Amino acid sequence: MSLTSVLTIAASALRLNAAKVAASADNVANVTTDGYQAVTVEGVTTVSGGGQRGADRGVTGVLRPSVPVQGLRIDTTTTQTDLAGERVRQILAQNAYNAAIQTLRTGDEMLGEVIDIKQ
């Protein structure tokens, strides 16, 4: 796997986790909206270039009906929003976002070292 592929995957992870937080924020904002169907964003791995060596890889988000986190269901309205579960999803997305940022930083440092070696 090339360094550019790693950077592409990390950038995709940033977009995915930003979409997860946005979906969770919508769920929380609509907690008092009767009939609102909560959604989550799930990552789907994509490979362009026919899966060949050097192909671009990435992660895209797919909206799905929200699934409550086991043991954390709180019914405050007739909506399907689980506030405790949403908070857990937000924390998980934040941690994954931070990990992707660190991957980008490390990749940037590695690329800088490669450039310095070639000079």
Residue boundaries of the structural domains of the chain: 3-69+78-118
What does the buried/exposed string (b/e) look like for 48-79 if buried means 16 or more CB atoms within 10 Å of the residue's CB?
eeeeeeeeebbbebeeeebebeeeeeeeeeeb
Q: Say what the pTM is.
A: 0.68
Neighbours of 85 (CB within 10 A): 22
Cβ burial, residue 88 (10 Å; 0-12/13-18/19+): middle
Give the C-alpha separation, 23 to 15, whole Å: 12
pLDDT for 94:
94
pLDDT for 77:
41
- Integer CA distances (angstroms), 48 to 23, 54, 83, in order: 26, 9, 37
pLDDT for 5:
83
pLDDT for 72:
37
pLDDT for 80:
67
Q: Are 27 and 66 in contact (CB under 8 A)?
A: yes
Which tens digits make up the pLDDT trace of 9-56?
Answer: 888 889 889 988 998 999 999 888 888 888 888 877 776 655 444 444
Which tens digits make up the pLDDT trace of 62-111?
Answer: 555 554 444 433 333 445 678 888 999 999 999 999 999 999 999 999 88
